[in-house]
Amino acid sequence: MKKIIITKNNSGERTDRFLVREFFSYTRGEISRNIKSGNVLVNGKETKPSHALKENDVVEINIPEKTVGIIVNKNVKFEIIFENENFVVIDKPAGVQVHPSEKNEADTLVNGLLYKFPEIGTVGDEPQNRPGIVHRLDKDTSGIMLIARNQKTFLELKEKFKNHEIQKTYWALVHGKLENKKGIIDKSLARARNYKKQTIANAKTQTTIRSAITEYEVLKEGEEYSLIELKPKTGRTHQIRIHMSSLGHPIVGDEKYKLRNTKTEESVVRHLLHAKKIKFSLNGKNFEFEASLPDDFSKFLAEAKII
């Protein structure tokens, strides 16, 4: 049985959400079923998935670790930008999920990576589900990703991400024209009450609040849209999407974080956010890579006369 004492940082978080991070190979639904079955105790008592944890709560967990054999799939397509013995830099297409889930076990980036780079199968904090994955992109975000090929490199890159020593640059097309053409968005984030998305933290926020900082600059403007370059200084879930929406300029095609009066573009099937560049140093060498804009992004820029 595993025992965890809740810290101040996790106080207020739902039990099921907290445990999903502790047991990456389980889905939230599987975690919830284990809680309802009595496999999780809080302060010695059975609890509910929605129970809000408090600081110093003692969580006892009797959930067995699950081993998952990842399906190798040669049909998952992605571009290899660079590779050496330690890492691979790839360009992930929009619409490709990064790692397997209960709903998608075979058609993710990881399934394709294992076909081309089988050695990553033992790399990472959780190689049985996310082999080699040091960071992630949302399913509909396209662009550059860094994959570790051995455990030593994984740990080094993980530490660099933690210490903000890896610079990522994104391009996004947003609605409207920004009054300030460059600036820094410093707005902490938390889970929304329905847990389906993130929100800007406020006095009523009940879940864990995490700092989130994004640097931005307008590159080009059209009549209705602006092309923005963004450099996140923290790596929170959906950070760029929420920050731009909070300024009143949501990303084109972002159905989750659009505003009520946001115009819907029928020709756009995903949010137009692209991981453009990554810059870091490793083993005494400096590296910088760039991923070209995908066709759907470039086409819409041309149609919007932002070229």
- The catalytic residue among 16, 57, 91, 138 is 138
138 is catalytic: yes
Residues 6+ apart with CB under 8 A from 299: none
Four-point Cα dihedral 26, 27, 30, 32, nearest 10:
120
Q: Residue 276's closest CA among 267, 289, 287? A: 289
Q: What are the two backbone dihedrals, phi and then psi, of residue 302, each rounded to the nearest 5 degrees? A: -65, -45
Whose tokens are 């998305």? That residue is 197
Is 259:241 a contact under the CB 8 Å cutoff? no
Query: What is the maximum span of the chain, computed from C-alpha positions, in angstroms?
Result: 63
Residues 6+ apart with CB under 8 A from 18: 6, 10, 53, 59
> Distance between the two ends of the chain, CA-based, in angstroms?
59
Catalytic residues: 138
